[in-house]
């Protein structure tokens, strides 16, 4: 709960502008997709222990958020960009792939004396 509150405070206190210069915003879109997909896929993987499902959901979350961001750009006075969406998608694919090298969690073996 504290983390959510902290993130909300940071978002409201700072001016976060993902499209300062249209030619230089692509790394920011890549990083945003990477972080969104990486965090989502890691959380889903911890809950399900299924790499494919967590990769698909992580990548899908970055794609949906990227599409939503590009859809509202004209409403806030910015231009839509297919390149921005492509970089968000690419970052999502790479970010969701963070779960591929993880090992499945196995229950610890316990030894009983009796």
What's the pLDDT tens digit per position in 70-99?
999 889 888 888 899 999 999 999 999 988
pLDDT tens digit sequence for 55-74: 999 999 999 999 999 999 88
Whether 54 is covered by a domain: the verdict is: yes
Whether 94 is covered by a domain: the verdict is: yes
Taking the complete model, does pTM exceed 0.75, yes or no? no
Tell me the residue range of the domain where 81 lies: 32-100
- Three-state DSSP at 50 gives coil
pLDDT value of residue 78: 85
- 21-39 in b/e burial notation, b at 16+ Cβ within 10 A? eeeebbebbbebbbebbbb
The CA distance from 54 to 37, in Å, is 9
Whether 111 is covered by a domain: the verdict is: no
């Amino acid at each position: 709960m504290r983390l959510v509150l902290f993130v909300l405070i940071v978002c409201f206190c700072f001016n976060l502008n993902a499209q300062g210069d249209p030619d230089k915003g692509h790394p920011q879109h890549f990083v945003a997709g990477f972080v969104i997909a990486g965090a989502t896929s890691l959380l889903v993987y911890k809950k399900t222990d299924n790499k494919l499902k967590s990769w698909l959901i992580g990548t899908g979350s970055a794609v949906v958020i990227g599409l939503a961001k590009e859809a509202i750009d004209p409403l806030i006075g910015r231009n839509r960009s297919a390149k921005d969406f492509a970089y968000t998608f690419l970052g999502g694919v790479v970010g969701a792939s963070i779960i591929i090298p993880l090992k499945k969690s196995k229950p610890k073996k316990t030894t009983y004396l009796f």
